Every structure is written in structure tokens, then in C-alpha cells.
Amino acid sequence: QAVLTQPSSLSASPGASASLTCTLRSGINVGTYWIYWYQQKSGSPPQYLLKYKSDSDKRQGSGVPSRFSGSKDASANAGILLISGLQSEDEADYYCMIWYSSAWVFGGGTKLTVL
């Protein structure tokens, strides 16, 4: 089982909100980890969005709109990237990442379609 699991795709309408999940493997407690989020548009390198550990421990990337925010769902053992007020430019692949067992580990990515 992968360390981080993300749904492969998600669709949402312009103006709506999208909640992208990043589920940690059983036995890896989401509460103790910083969850990092990256956005990658087609043909471009990834861009740093934000990191989230708790409501008092979080950081937004430089220039990243406040429409992007992080949270956790402890009951689901998952990190969440919430994008509100979806815009067409938000259509991209989104990756979560944690530091686990002396390595940076990426989730498989979620392709977000805005239509």
C-alpha cells in the first residue's frame, strides 16, 4: 500500500469548492506530519502551494491566493487541500508530499478538472 494515496481525478464547477484528499497509509498518523501541496500545470514544473500541520502551524506559499487552504481530517487520516471559488486556471495536477522514513514521498497526484 502506498504511503500517500490521492484520488486520480476530480471534477468541479467554476465558482464551486474542491476538496482534494491525501490519505496516509494506516499506521502513519497524519497528526504528526507536515503535509505539503504542489500544483502542476501541463508542461510546467510543479509550484509550491502551501504546507499544513495544524491551524497554528501552516504556511502559504509566496503569492498563493488565500482560496487555497490546507486542513486535516484525523478520522480519515488524511490531509486536505481546499480550493474555493474555483477558476479555470486551477485546472491542474495536485500533489501532496510528506517527509517519511528519511525521504520525501509524493502522493500519486489528483487531476482537477474545472468544467
Partner 1 sequence: QVQLVQSGTEVKKPGASVKVSCKASGYTFTNYDVNWVRQATGQGLEWMGWMNSNSGNTGYAQKFQGRVTMTRDTSINTAYMELSSLRSEDTAVYYCTRNPSESGDFDFWGQGTLVTVSS
Binding site for partner 1 (CB under 8 A): 34, 36, 38, 40, 45-48, 51, 59, 61-62, 93, 95, 97-99, 102-109
CB of 45 to partner 1, least distance (A): 4
Shortest distance in whole angstroms from residue 62 CB to partner 1:
7
CB 82 within 8 A of CB 37: no
Least separation in angstroms between CB 48 and partner 1: 5
**Contact criterion met (CB below 8 Å) for 38 and 103:** no
SS3 readout for 23-77: EECCCCCHHHCCEEEEEECCCCCCEEEEEEEECCEEEECCCCCCCEEEEEEHHHC
Nearer to partner 1, 90 or 93 (CB): 93
Q: How far is the CB of 24 from partner 1 (least distance, A)?
A: 15
**Residue carrying the nine cell digits 474555483:** 86
What does the DSSP 8-state code read for residue 14? Answer: T
- Select 8 or 15, whichever has its Cβ closest to partner 1: 8
Q: Residue 40 or residue 71: which is nearer to partner 1 going by CB?
A: 40
